[in-house]
Structure 1
Amino acid sequence: MIKRGIGRQIVLHYFIVVFVTLFMVEVIFSLAIRMYYYDTIKNHMYVHSTWASDYFQKFVRLNAERDPDYFTEMLRTFELDNTELLILNNKGEVQASSSGFQADKAIQTSDVPQAAAGNVGTWIGRQTSTGETVMAVSTPLQVRGETRYIVRYLTSLESVNSKLMNLTLVSVGVAGAVLALVTLFSIGLANSIVKPINNIRAVSAQMAKGKFDVRIKGNYKYELGELAATLNYMAQEIVRSNQIKDDFISSISHELRTPLTGIKGWSETLKLGGFDPEETELGMGIIAKETDRLIGLVEEMLDFSKLQQNEMKLVITVVNLKEILQETMLNVWAKAEQKGIQIKLDDHIERGIYVNGDGNRLKQVFLNLVDNAIKFSAENSWIHFVIKQQSDTQVLVEVVDSGIGISHEHLNKVKDRFFQVNHQGGGTGLGLAISQQLVELHHGQMDIHSELGVGTTVSVMLPIHEIKDEGEVSSPDG
C-alpha cells in the first residue's frame, strides 16, 4: 500500500489514465471485431441470396415457376453449411425450408417486411424456439417488378459470439497485463521522485531547526536537482550571513567601545578637576569628537533599519548635482589633506546638470564613497570625481581612486550588509549597502569596478531632470 502523498497521486493518475485508455481501446476493438465478423457473415449470405434471385429470374423467363420441383431445386442449389434457407411468400409464410421445418405462422421479423417492400432486409435477434442469437438476410424474388417470394437465409451466431468472447477475454487479459506493468512502472517513477523529495524535506527540516551545516546529498536531475542546489546555496548564504553578522557585532562592539572608553576616561578625569585650560579644552574636544563618532555609527544603523523596513522618506527636489559633488569635496578636504591625498573634480559638462532627488541623501552617498576611497588609499595618492552626461536622460558620476583595490573574491560582496573587506579598518560594513539602496530609491544604479593593487572606480548612474544654464542653480537642500 502506497502511503498518502505525491507518490500515491502519481500512481493513481497513471493508473486512471491508462485504465481509461485501455477501456476505450477494448470497447473499440470489441465493437470493430464484432462488426467485422457480422458483416462477413451478412455479405456471404447476401451474395448467395443475390444468386438465388438471379436463378429465380431465369426460371420466370422460362415459365418454370409452375414446376413443382422448383423450390426444391433452389434449396438444393443455394443451400449453405450451418445456415437454414427459407422460401417465403410476400406475407412471410414459409413455402419451403432446407431444414424441413414448417412454421405454423408467418415470419414477421424486420427483415421480412423490408424484403417484401423490395429491399434487402437484415435482422439480428434471438430465436424464439431455440433461444439462440441468429442473423437473417432476406432478399425479394420479383416477377415483373412485383415481389412474389422472399429468399431468407438464417444462421446461428452462437459460435461466432463464442469466438468473439474468447477474443475479448484475451484482449482483456492483455490489457490487464499492460495495466499491471504500467502500475509497476508508475510506482518506480513515484519512488524516484518521492525519495529525493523526502530527503530534501528531511534536510530542510534540520535547516529549519537552525542546523545550517547540513547539506542535501545526491546527484538529482532537473527541477529536483535545482531545488537541492538552491537549498544548499541558501544554507551556505545563511551561514555566511550569520558569520558576517557575528563579525559585525564584534566590529560594532569594538567601534562603540573605543569612543565610549575615551568619553568615560576623559569625563572622569575632568571630573576630578585641577587641570589647566589647555588640558581641559583637549579633553572636551576628545569627548565631542568621540560623541560625534558615536552619533555617526548610530545614524548609519538607523538609516539601514529604515531602508530595510521601507521607511526611508526622501525629500525630492530638483538639485544641482555638480554643487553636491563640490560640497562633498569640501567636507572631506581636511581628512584627505592629512594623508596628502589630492581630490579633483573632472567636469565634462560645461553647464549645471540637475536631477530629481534628495540633496542630503545624495550627498550622503558620495560622502560615503569618497570616505571609503580615502580610507583605503595610500598617502600622497589621488581621488577624482568624474561627472559626464551619458545620454539625454542619464548622468554618470564616478569616484576613482588609486588605492589598494578590491580582490575579485570580495568584489561581489562589498555591497552586502555587514560585509567588510578589512575588519581592522573600522566601521559597520553598512555604508555601501546603504548607498546602494539610496541610489536605487533615486531610480539610479551603482556599480563597482576594482583591481587589486591598482584602484577602485565606483559608478553612480542617475536620471537627469533637466540641463539648465549655469545661472539657474538651486541648493542641494532644494
Structure 2
Amino acid sequence: MSAPVRKCRCRRTIGGEFFQTIASVLLVGLALMCGIQTAMSTAYFVRERQVSLTAVLDGATAMSERFAAQGSIVTLPLPDEQAAENTRSGFELFNTSSGAVIFVADLDGNVLLHTSSDAFEGGKVPEKLRREMDAGEDVFIQGKMDGIFRSGFYIAGRRLEMDGNAGYLFAATPMNALASYVGDMLSMFLVSAVAILIVCSVLCMLLARRITVPIEQISRAARQLGSGDFTARAPVNGCEELADFATTFNNMAGRLQNIDNSRGQFMGNIAHELRTPMTSIKGFIDGMLDGTIPESEYKRYLGIVSQETGRLARLVQNMLDITKLESGEVKGHPKVYDIWATLTDVVLSDERRIEDGKIDIQGMDPVRTMVYADPDFVHQVVYNIVDNAIKFTPPDGVIHFDVHREGPMVVVAIENTGDGISPEALPFVFERFYKEDRSRGLNTRGSGLGLHICKVLITLSGGQIKAESEEGKWCRFTFTLPAAENGKQPQNAKSAV
C-alpha cells in the first residue's frame, strides 16, 4: 500500500509569491529612484552653488571697481594694512548676505586677504587655476584648493583688474551644506517610501486575495472531483484568465459526470441484457432437469437455448468491438473502391429474407461511385442498417437506396417504409443500449449496440451519420464517406483510420 502524499510545507502560497514579487519590485524601484534622485539633487545643488558663487563674484567685482574708481577701499596691490582692512570690510558685506567666504590673491597666488580666518590653512592658489583665470575664464572647483582650506569648499574664481593692476578674486562656500541638503532630502524620501510601502502592501494583499480566492475555489472543486463528486463546479468569476480556467474546469467536470453517468447506465444495461437471456436459458435447462419440460419437447427448447446463447455471444462480441474501436486498438485499412460493391453484396446476402418478407428493393441502379474507406467498416455499417430495415419493413414494403456525390463526400441513404422512429427516440438512436419498441433497428430483440457501432465506424472513416423519420410512414439513415478523386486517395483523407 502506497504512503499518502503529504503536502510540502516548504512551498509558498500564490498570495505569498505574489506579495514577495511585488514587494521586491517595489523595493528595487524605490532604491533606484532614491539613487537617481540623490544624484540629480546633488548635481542640482552643485550647479546652484556655482551660479550663486558666480553671482557673488559679479557683485564683489562690481563693488571693487566702483570703490576703486572712487579711490576708496579696494586697490591692488594693497598698499598697507589699512587698505587691506578697508577691502576686507567691503567684502564682508557679501559674506554676511550670501554666507560665502571671499578672498583675494595676487598674481603669484599668495592670499592677500580673506573674510574668514577659521577656514584658511595657508598655501598658494594652484598655478593651473591661475592660468585658466588669466585666459579670461571663470573657474569652479570643489575641494581644499591644494591645502588653502582646512575642509572641502565649493570655490569660484576669476581674474580681477583695477587701475592697471591685477589679482584673483574668489568666493567659496563649505561643502558640508550638501550633506545637510541630501540628508534632509533622504529623510523626506524615507518617510514617503515607508508610506508607499504600507499602502502598496495593503493593496497587494487585497489584490492577491482577489486572485487567490478563485484559484482556491477551483482547487476545492478539483479536490471534490478527485474524491468522486462529479457534481463539483467552480464559480466563474475573477479576471478573464481565471474565469476561462473555471469555465474549462466546469466543462471538464461536466464531461466526466456524463461519462460517469454513461458508465453507470452502460453497466446497468449490460447487466440487464445479460440477465434476460441467461434467465431464459436457466429456466429451460432447469425445466428439462426437473421434468417440467417433457423429453419430447427437448429439441424445441434446446433450439431456443441455442438462439439465446447466440444472442449472448453477439452481445459480448459487440461490446468487445466497441471497446476496441473506441480505444483505438482497431486500425482501419482504407482504400479506393466502389461503394456499390458493398451495397450489392449486403442485399444479395439477405436476398432470402427480403423475398420472405415480400419487400421491394428500389434504387439499386449501380453507377460507379468511388470512395476512400475501409471496406470492412463500411460493410458492417451497411449490414446493420439493412438488417434493421428488413426487420421493420412490413410485407409489400419498400427499401430504397440512394448514392450521390456532394462536394468532397459521397452520400449514402437507406430508407424503408414502416412505423419509423418516434420523435422522442430519434435523438438517441445512436446511443449504447438505447431501444424503443416501435423504432426500426431499436427493438427489444436487439442489443441496442448496432447503430452505436455504425456511428463509431463512420466517424473513424471520416464521415457522419444521421437518422431521419416520419413516424408511421418511413425511416431513413444517411451516412457520408470521403470521395475518391479520379480513383485516387483524397488529399484531406485521414492517413490512418
TM more than 0.5: yes
Asked whether the 8 Å contact 1:385–1:398 carries over to 2, the reply is: yes
In structure 2, relative to structure 1, the CA distance for the partners of 1:169 and 1:256 (3 Å cut) is: same
AA aligned to 2:384 is: N
Q: 1:3 to 1:320 in 2, by over 3 A?
A: closer
Task: Give 2:480's aligned residue.
Answer: 461
Higher deviation after alignment, 432-441 or 191-200: 432-441
2:380 match: 364
Matched, 1:72 2:87: yes
1:337 CA drift (Å): 7.5
1:151 to 169, 184, 196: 169
**Partner Cα separation in structure 1 for residue 388 and residue 110 of structure 2:** 118
Instruction: Give the stretch that moved more between structures: 445-454 or 287-296.
Output: 445-454
* CA RMSD, Structure 1 to Structure 2 (Å): 4.5
CA drift at 1:15: 1.0
Q: Report the counterpart of residue 98 of structure 1 in structure 2.
A: 115
Alignment of 1:389-428 (within 5 A): 389-391=405-407, 393-400=408-415, 403-407=420-424, 411=427, 415=430, 418=432, 420=434, 422=436, 425-426=443-444, 427-428=446-447
Please state whether the residue corresponding to 1:465 is helix, strand or coil.
coil
User: Given the superposition, is the C-alpha separation of residues 334 and 420 from structure 1 closer, same or farther in structure 2, using an over 3 Å criterion?
Assistant: farther
Matched, 1:42 2:56: no
Give 1:312 shift: 0.4
CA contact 2:340–2:367 (8 Å) conserved in 1: no
Provide closer, same or farther for how the CA distance between residues 105 and 305 of structure 1 changes in structure 2, counting only shifts above 3 A: same
1:414 & 1:96 partners in 2: Cα distance? 116
* Partner in structure 2 of residue 325 of structure 1: 343
The equivalent of 2:403 in structure 1 is 387
**Superposition map of 1:66-465 within 5 A:** 68=79, 72=87, 75=91, 81-99=98-116, 103-108=121-126, 114-115=132-133, 119-125=137-143, 133-141=152-160, 149-216=167-234, 222-263=240-281, 282-283=300-301, 285-331=303-349, 344-345=362-363, 351-371=367-387, 384-391=400-407, 393-400=408-415, 403-407=420-424, 411=427, 415=430, 418=432, 420=434, 422=436, 425-426=443-444, 427-442=446-461, 444-448=462-466, 450=468, 453=471, 458-465=477-484
Task: Report how far residue 208 of structure 1 moved.
Answer: 1.4
After superposition, the C-alpha distances for 1:94-148 in whole angstroms (9 at most, x for unaligned) are 12323367653124498667546654332234797987553112234479xxx96
- Report if aligned partners of 1:262, 1:287 keep a CA contact under 8 Å in 2: yes
Equivalent position SS for 1:289: helix
Query: Aligned-pair distance for 1:11?
Result: 0.8
Unaligned runs of 5+ in 2: 1-9, 488-497
Provide the C-alpha distance between the structure 2 equivalents of 1:138 and 1:379, rounded to a whole number of angstroms.
127
Give the TM-score normalised by structure 2.
Answer: 0.73
Q: Is the 8 A contact 2:458 2:465 kept in 1?
A: no
Distance 1:246-1:125 versus aligned 2 partners, 3 A rule: same
Unaligned segments of structure 1, at least 5 residues: 469-478
Which residue does the alignment assign to 1:472? Answer: none
- 1:42 deviation in Å? 0.9
**Count of paired positions:** 456
- By relative contact order (CA 8 Å, sep 6+), the higher-ranking structure is 1
What is the distance in 2 between the residues matched to 1:229 and 1:346?
51
Quick one: which amino acid aligns to residue 47 of structure 2? D
Preserved CA contact (<8 Å) 2:414 2:477: yes
Q: What secondary structure sits across from 1:460 in the alignment?
A: strand
Q: TM-score, normalised by structure 1?
A: 0.76
Distance 1:251 1:121, change over 3 A: same
Counterpart code for 1:179 = L
